[in-house]
Amino acid sequence: MTSALNIRIDEKLKRALQARAKGQHRSPSDQARRYLEIAMIAEDNPDLPFSFIAGILEARAEVGTGLIEELDWGGRRTR
């Protein structure tokens, strides 16, 4: 479920968000949503580096879109 939330940010931060969103081919709202998700995970897990958190989120997205293939570990099936 998605709902709207209006927040106020300064103009410099807004321009930076818009630039990053454009570079990532996302809407500013989607970019802000991604940053919020990463920030909340990082706050809950301060020992994890940003790159690790981003990698996990990317892998979860790949699983959700069916891009992950099961590895063949020398012919043994794990499932």
**Which pLDDT score, from 0 to 100, does residue 69 have?**
78
- Contact, 23 vs 34, CB < 8 A? no
**What pLDDT does 67 receive?**
84
Find out whether 25 and 31 touch, Cβ atoms under 8 Å: no
Nearest to 33 by CA among 15, 57, 67: 57
Distance in angstroms (rounded) separating the CA atoms of residues 37 and 79:
32
Instruction: Give the other-Cβ count within 10 Å of 32's Cβ.
Output: 19
- The pLDDT score that the predictor gives to residue 14 is 96
pLDDT tens-digit map of 30-74:
999 999 999 999 999 999 999 999 999 999 989 888 888 777 777
Q: Quick check: 2 pLDDT over 90?
A: no
| pTM, to two decimals | 0.70
